[in-house]
């Protein structure tokens, strides 16, 4: 089978060059979509790699760009790769081998966060008292190594999201820890730094050094949120087993070209975020199998370009598209309850307005999608919603498994 790779990009940073270098020798056909980059810089880089270039003067979103790229691809296997991701040399060969099974519609590889991470594990006992009864941990106001503040860059099950407030009349930011669960600090080299400073007082040295999972397939929660299976857990052998998964991620996925024709394009009104969940859901409605294959990996920087260009819109797009995805694919009662909660309860921040504008389209396409489905919305929901959403989020296994 011939192989195509589609890369959509907004800016031509060093990440794009690294991305294209990683697939140039694997692909028979490389398609680069310049999604409105300044001075057509993405198109110029694509041509340096011999790619077929699609040039948009205005950003068409990830969905629009991917659809254009797939339309220009020529391979029997068509793979999508984020411009801030780097593929291992075996990626497309593994994808092709997996897709040789006619029952498999699409495959996603093991996706790792770029770089190495040092592990810290909060004490088992509660040090501070959170107003949220679910959190019994410690507040981290600052995590520094040398002159770099790492509070925002912490990842793993041992830390919650950043919160903000005021103390003594000044604004403060912090993150709560989860006692006994590890969290990880990014490292420039694969060895523990000597002395990470916590809250300006305590100096600690991380223990195990490992790589971390970004995505091992998509899961679907019972409230309709999808997520990255395994996010922030160590790549220490626990993610080395292939399995069927609810969905595949647009960060790095591959499908046969006939599957893309059958399932249809990514939904253009989504623009960005949840488009892969929606596509996976539609494939599931058609009775297709989607799988995770960990024998090859992708290294992902995460949201390099979208963070620069979309900024605060990311949360609005993600929440709006989650609701549109439910309207198009979920059972009627699930869809109605989710829409009602958003309209009545909020919070808003522009999400309600954006959803209402797209609601007629989502309802119309809901009935169109049902006509081509072999499984009902209820059957897919019963099988996947709320299942397979927990995993081993404990500390790293012994170092010999992951520090090569």
Domain ranges of the chain: 1-115+213-404, 116-210
| Architecture of the domain made up of 1-115+213-404 | Alpha-Beta Complex (3.90)
Give the residue from 227, 272, 230, 262 showing the smallest Cα distance to 384.
227
**How far is 324 from 278, CA to CA, in rounded Å?**
9
Distance CA 40, CA 38 (A): 5
Q: CA–CA separation, 56 vs 25, rounded Å?
A: 26
- SS3 state of residue 77: strand
pTM of the model: 0.92
Whether residue 140 is preceded by a cis peptide bond, meaning omega within 30 degrees of 0, is no
What pLDDT was estimated at residue 111?
98
DSSP 359-377: HHHHHHHHHHHHHT-SS-H
Per-residue model confidence (pLDDT) at position 312: 65
Kind of pairing between the strands at 213-215 and 104-113: antiparallel
Q: What is the largest CA-CA distance in the chain?
A: 65
- The pair of three-digit structure tokens given for residue 87, joined into one six-digit string: 């593929």
Residue 389's Cα: distance from chain center in Å? Answer: 15
Helix or strand or coil: residue 22? Answer: helix
CB 40 within 8 A of CB 65: no
Q: How far is CA 246 from CA 50, 193, 302, 374, 378, in A?
A: 35, 38, 21, 16, 14
Nearest alpha-carbon partner for 16 in 55, 49, 62, 52: 49
Tell me phi and psi for residue 77, to 5 degrees.
Answer: -110, 130
Which residues make beta-bridge pairs with 140?
Answer: 175
Q: Which SS3 state, helix, strand or coil, does residue 251 take? A: coil
Distance, in Å, from the CA atom of 152 to the CA atom of 162, rounded to the nearest integer, reads: 7
Q: How far apart are CA 163 and CA 184, in angstroms?
A: 18
CB neighbourhood size of 316 (10 A): 18
Q: CB–CB of 226/381 below 8 Å?
A: no
How distant, in Å, are the alpha carbons of 129, 225, 273 from that of 352?
A: 34, 17, 16
User: Exposed (0-12), middle (13-18) or buried (19+): which is 57, by Cβ within 10 Å?
Assistant: exposed
The mean pLDDT values, 10 residues at a time, for the chain of 404 residues are 96 96 97 97 98 97 98 98 98 98 96 94 63 72 89 93 92 90 90 84 84 97 94 96 97 98 96 97 97 97 60 81 95 92 68 82 94 95 94 81 44
pLDDT at 316: 85
Token pair of 78 as six digits: 């068509």
Phi, psi (deg, nearest 5) at residue 345: -95, -30
Planar angle of CA 229, 231, 232, nearest 5 degrees: 155
- Decide: 117 and 210 in contact? Cβ < 8 Å: yes
The pLDDT assigned to 395 comes to: 92
CA distance 399 to 27: 34
Per-residue model confidence as pLDDT tens digits over 235-245:
999 999 999 99
């Amino acid at each position: 089978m011939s192989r195509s790779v589609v890369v959509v990009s907004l800016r031509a940073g060093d990440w794009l060059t690294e991305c294209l270098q990683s697939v140039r020798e694997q692909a028979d056909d490389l398609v680069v979509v310049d999604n409105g980059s300044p001075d057509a810089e993405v198109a110029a880089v694509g041509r340096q790699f011999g790619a077929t270039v699609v040039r948009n003067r205005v950003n068409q979103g990830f969905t629009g760009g991917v659809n254009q790229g797939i339309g220009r691809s020529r391979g029997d296997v068509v793979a999508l790769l984020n411009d801030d991701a780097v593929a291992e040399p075996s990626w497309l060969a593994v994808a092709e081998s997996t897709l040789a099974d006619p029952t498999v519609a699409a495959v996603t590889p093991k996706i790792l966060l770029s770089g190495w991470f040092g592990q810290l594990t909060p004490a088992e006992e509660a040090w501070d008292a959170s107003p949220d009864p679910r959190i019994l941990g410690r507040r981290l106001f600052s995590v520094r190594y040398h002159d770099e503040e790492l509070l925002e860059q912490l990842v793993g099950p041992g830390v919650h999201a950043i919160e903000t407030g005021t103390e003594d009349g000044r604004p403060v930011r912090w993150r709560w820890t989860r006692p006994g669960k590890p969290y990880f600090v990014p490292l420039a080299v694969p060895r523990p730094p000597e002395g990470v400073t916590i809250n300006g007082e305590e100096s600690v040295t991380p223990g195990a050094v490992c790589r971390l999972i970004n995505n091992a397939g998509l899961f679907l929660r019972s409230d309709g949120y999808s997520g990255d299976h395994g996010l922030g857990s160590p790549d220490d052998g626990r993610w080395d087993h292939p399995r069927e998964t609810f969905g595949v991620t647009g960060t790095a996925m591959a499908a046969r070209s006939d599957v893309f024709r059958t399932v249809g394009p990514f939904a253009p009104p989504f623009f960005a975020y949840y488009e892969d969940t929606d596509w996976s859901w539609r494939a599931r409605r058609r009775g297709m199998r989607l799988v995770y294959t960990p024998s090859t990996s992708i290294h992902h920087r995460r949201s390099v370009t979208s963070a620069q260009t979309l900024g605060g819109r990311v949360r609005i797009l993600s929440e709006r598209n989650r609701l549109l995805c439910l309207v198009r694919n979920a059972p009627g009662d699930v869809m109605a309850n989710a829409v009602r909660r958003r309209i009545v309860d909020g919070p808003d921040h522009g999400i309600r307005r954006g959803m209402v504008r797209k609601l007629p389209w989502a309802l119309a396409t809901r009935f169109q999608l049902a006509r081509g489905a072999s499984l009902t919305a209820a059957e897919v929901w019963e099988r996947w919603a709320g299942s397979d959403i927990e995993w081993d989020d404990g500390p790293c296994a012994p170092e010999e498994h992951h520090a090569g």
